[in-house]
Amino acid sequence: MNHPVIQFVRRGEIVSLRDVPPTRTLLQVLREDLHCTGTKEGCNEGDCGACTVVLGEAQGKGENQRIHYSAVNSCIRLAHSVHGLALWTAEDLAATDGTLHPAQQAMVNCHASQCGFCTPGFVMSLFGLYQNHVAQGDTVTRELAQQALSGNLCRCTGYRPILDAAQHMAQLPTVQLDESDLLQKLELLAQEGRGLEANSSYISPNTLPALLAARAAHPDAQLVAGCTDVGLWINKLHKQFAKVLDVTRVPALRNIEDYPHHIAIGAALTLTDAFSALVADRPQLHTFATRFAGLPVRNSGTLGGNVANGSPIGDSMPLLIALGAHVVLMSERGHRAMPLEQFYTGYRQNQLAADEVLAWIKVPKATPGELLRVYKISKRFDDDISAVCLAIKLHLAEGNVAQASIGVGGVAATPVRALQTEAALLGQAWTLDTVQQAISTLRGEFAPISDMRASASYRVQVLGNLLQRFWLESQGMEQINLDAFTLAGENT
């Protein structure tokens, strides 16, 4: 079977790689094929950030075109996915005379490295932060630094000096990349395109009709987007796929369409951009959005991939269920839509047919008087998987619950909607008695299992506690202003 050529820009030159199998990761290509061992292999599952690299992609058109930089985990990123992009590793930052890049020099000046194994990954996350913010004249706040480094773990230096380095970069002599030259090279790669040979092992259509045709012709191909989950199957379960179908080259699936009452999020849109759209409509989701994995995972992973994967502890689904989201499935036969909670049929099983792709997630917009909270319970604050996730959306009318929508994760084989608890709340006065009865219903509605993250009894107890927390927060904010709660509330 034919392996298509991979072409990307590195160090100002176009690199061409041939005969790369479809499931070979970018980290394997860097370390084993290109002998760039500065990029480290740590956990090999996208958790530690030692393998972080930065990808550059052209965005916009004409005079507004620029490069957007994304720090990603190379260990779970398929090598073919970087075709047509620019790539930087820790070995590409210093000047030809040896002068360190500000991301590197700041680490030295702030004594932000001890053993040094994690340092290349931290430097690359800092480089992405530098290009997207410092080089644009933005101020790097402590909060922004923490978000940028949320996917990088250090076990010996400690984070204070590394965060200091993130803020110190702006004080060093500025380094500017020649983006005009880079854009020209990326445009050249885009014009050359990539053929869709019938026997290709890695298929990456660039139009929606071509994607649907490829899906119909190759129902056995493994669908991939950001590969933040499929990458684990390859690295940890040693799975191999003869043929891969990549959905991320289709511009139509990387857009957000704005309608009067809902937004339609393309399934191939990154989690970073998808959450930005959700937060723009509901600012109180900001903290929850930044707690979804680490930034490199959000920069690669897609909302559609998270939804289609259907993990019972996937964080986006409880929120989307509570918001009343629908999914749109497409094939050459047409399209169909359904509420998200009806999409799942069992553990990691769904209604997606062999010739279909998940194309859109339709999310209703916020409405006046909406009470919304989403709670993530995990052992670590950043870059961790939930033990329990609970999302609650209520509308009150004259002190009674007029609408109730509750999504839950971590308590069943799939993300679920708490229908019994919604029924216990609907039409009832929003009082402590009502909430206590609903807590009892919620704790009895599901039968979670015990695993390494939490025991079944803990999950049951926490579910009720979170509903009580929602009640207490609603009372505290209600004394001020319900509209202010909706517009400026913080997920605590």
Domain harbouring 164, CATH code: 1.10.150.120
CATH value at residue 48: 3.10.20.30
CATH value at residue 339: 3.30.465.10
Q: Are residues 225 and 135 in the same domain?
A: no
pLDDT band, very low/low/confident/very high, at 430 (cuts 50, 70, 90): very high
Q: Is 60 exposed, middle or buried (0-12, 13-18, 19+ CB in 10 A)?
A: exposed
User: In the listed set 313, 343, 364, which residue is the last one of a domain according to the structure?
Assistant: 364
Q: Are residues 158 and 194 in the same domain?
A: no
**Section 399-405 average pLDDT:** 97
User: Looking at residue 480, what is its pLDDT?
Assistant: 35
Judged against a pLDDT cut of 90, whether residue 425 lies above it is answered with yes
Q: Are residues 330 and 407 in the same domain?
A: no
pLDDT band, very low/low/confident/very high, at 195 (cuts 50, 70, 90): low
User: In the listed set 364, 380, 414, which residue is the last one of a domain according to the structure?
Assistant: 364
In a domain, 1, yes or no: no
End-to-end CA distance of the chain: 52
In a domain, 97, yes or no: no
User: In the listed set 171, 188, 221, which residue is the last one of a domain according to the structure?
Assistant: 171
Q: Are residues 328 and 202 in the same domain?
A: no
Number of domains in the chain: 4
In a domain, 74, yes or no: yes
Instruction: Let me know: does 325 contact 361? Beta carbons within 8 Å.
Output: yes
Instruction: Let me know: does 379 contact 356? Beta carbons within 8 Å.
Output: no
**Of the ranges 103-107, 304-308, 311-315, 484-488, which one carries the lowest mean pLDDT score?**
484-488
Summary count for the chain: helices (H), strands (E):
18, 19
Q: Are residues 388 and 468 in the same domain?
A: yes
Predicted TM-score (pTM) of the model is: 0.93
Judged against a pLDDT cut of 90, whether residue 487 lies above it is answered with no
Angle between helix 102-109 and helix 119-132 axes, rounded to 10 deg:
120
Percentage of residues in the chain having pLDDT higher than 90: 90
User: Looking at residue 489, what is its pLDDT?
Assistant: 33
Q: Are residues 290 and 163 in the same domain?
A: no
Q: Are residues 195 and 49 in the same domain?
A: yes
Q: Are residues 69 and 188 in the same domain?
A: yes
Q: Are residues 342 and 287 in the same domain?
A: yes
| Structure token pair of residue 328 | 């749109």
| Structure token pair of residue 321 | 């269920």
In a domain, 52, yes or no: yes
In a domain, 317, yes or no: yes
In a domain, 195, yes or no: yes
Tens of pLDDT along 198-249? 578 999 999 999 999 999 999 999 999 999 999 999 999 999 999 999 999 9
Q: Are residues 299 and 234 in the same domain?
A: no
In a domain, 454, yes or no: yes
Q: Are residues 231 and 273 in the same domain?
A: no
Judged against a pLDDT cut of 80, whether residue 478 lies above it is answered with no
Tens of pLDDT along 49-107? 999 999 999 998 888 899 999 999 999 999 999 999 999 999 999 999 999 999 999 99
Judged against a pLDDT cut of 50, whether residue 45 lies above it is answered with yes
Q: Are residues 259 and 325 in the same domain?
A: yes
Range of the domain at 117: 102-171
In a domain, 29, yes or no: yes
* Order of strands across the sheet that contains 86-88: 13-17, 6-10, 86-88, 52-59, 66-73
Judged against a pLDDT cut of 50, whether residue 490 lies above it is answered with no
Percentage of residues in the chain having pLDDT higher than 70: 96
> Bridge-partner residues for 334, per DSSP?
331
Judged against a pLDDT cut of 50, whether residue 349 lies above it is answered with yes
Of the candidates 309, 148, 151, the residue with the CA atom closest to the CA atom of residue 226: 309
